[in-house]
């Protein structure tokens, strides 16, 4: 198990990212720090859902050829607001849905997602070292079409951590 604190001056800061070996496979535990810009908060409070995607890539470096791409995985948390019930909702990977009375509580789920399985036990070779890359971003491709057009031209809609890299030795 390797834990790596990160410092970055981007919109989203990766506070912690680590892979953990379990009986099922390898799980990613991570936490992020960011604040919603006013434009994003206004859109959310008017009923536009926001999609926060965490991407992870595992590559095994090879000296004789290109790196072996072992794993690419993504997980999206949908953050929405219901104007009628005045509740915020988070939906993880289309299944687990939770409701919150405050935006801060809902954002806590986005900032500290639950550990999730990124690779089966057989996918990684025991004892091999892998380069792990992690990032979180606001996925503007899942926004309604009119907002996608605005997001392309407006930097307020760009929220991303950039890629952070660390080395993990498979157990």
40 lies in a domain? no
Q: How confident is the model at residue 135 (pLDDT cuts 50, 70, 90)?
A: very high
6 lies in a domain? yes
88 lies in a domain? no
Q: How far apart are the first and last CA of the chain?
A: 8
Containing structural domain, residue 28 = 2-35+52-75+111-169
Average pLDDT over residues 21-31: 92
Higher-confidence residue of 114 and 61: namely 114
pLDDT digits (tens, 9 = 90+) for 83-117: 999 999 999 876 788 999 999 999 999 999 888 88
Per the structure, how many domains does the chain have? 1
- What stretches of 8-166 show up as alpha helix (H) in DSSP? 38-45, 103-111, 145-153
- Whether 166 shows a pLDDT value over 50: the answer reads yes
Nearest to 168 by CA among 35, 37, 2: 2
104 lies in a domain? no
CATH code assigned at 147 = 2.60.40
Nearest to 87 by CA among 111, 103, 76: 103
Q: How far apart are CA 103 and CA 86, in angstroms?
A: 10
**Tokens 């057989």 label which residue?**
122
132 lies in a domain? yes
99 lies in a domain? no
163 lies in a domain? yes
Predicted TM-score (pTM) of the model is: 0.85
DSSP string, 70-99: EEEEEEEEEEEEETTTTEEEEEETTTEEEE
H or E element: which one contains 29? strand 25-33
How remote is the C-alpha of 46 from its chain's centroid? Answer: 24
Q: What percent of the chain has pLDDT above 70?
A: 90
142 lies in a domain? yes
């Amino acid at each position: 198990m390797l834990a790596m604190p990160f410092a970055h001056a981007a919109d989203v800061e990766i506070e912690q990212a680590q892979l953990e070996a379990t009986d099922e496979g390898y799980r990613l535990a991570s936490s992020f720090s960011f604040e919603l810009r006013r434009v994003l908060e206004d859109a959310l409070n008017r009923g536009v859902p926001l999609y926060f995607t965490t991407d992870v890539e595992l590559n095994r470096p090879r000296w004789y050829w290109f790196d072996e791409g072992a794993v690419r995985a993504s997980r999206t948390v949908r953050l929405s607001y219901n104007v009628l019930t005045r509740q915020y909702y988070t939906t993880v990977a289309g299944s687990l849905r939770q409701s919150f009375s405050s935006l801060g509580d809902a954002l806590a789920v986005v900032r500290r997602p639950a550990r999730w399985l990124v690779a089966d036990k057989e996918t990684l070779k025991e004892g091999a070292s892998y380069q792990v890359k992690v990032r979180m971003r606001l996925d503007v491709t899942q926004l309604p079409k009119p907002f996608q057009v605005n997001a392309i031209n407006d930097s307020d809609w760009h929220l991303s951590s950039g890629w952070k890299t660390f080395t993990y030795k498979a157990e």
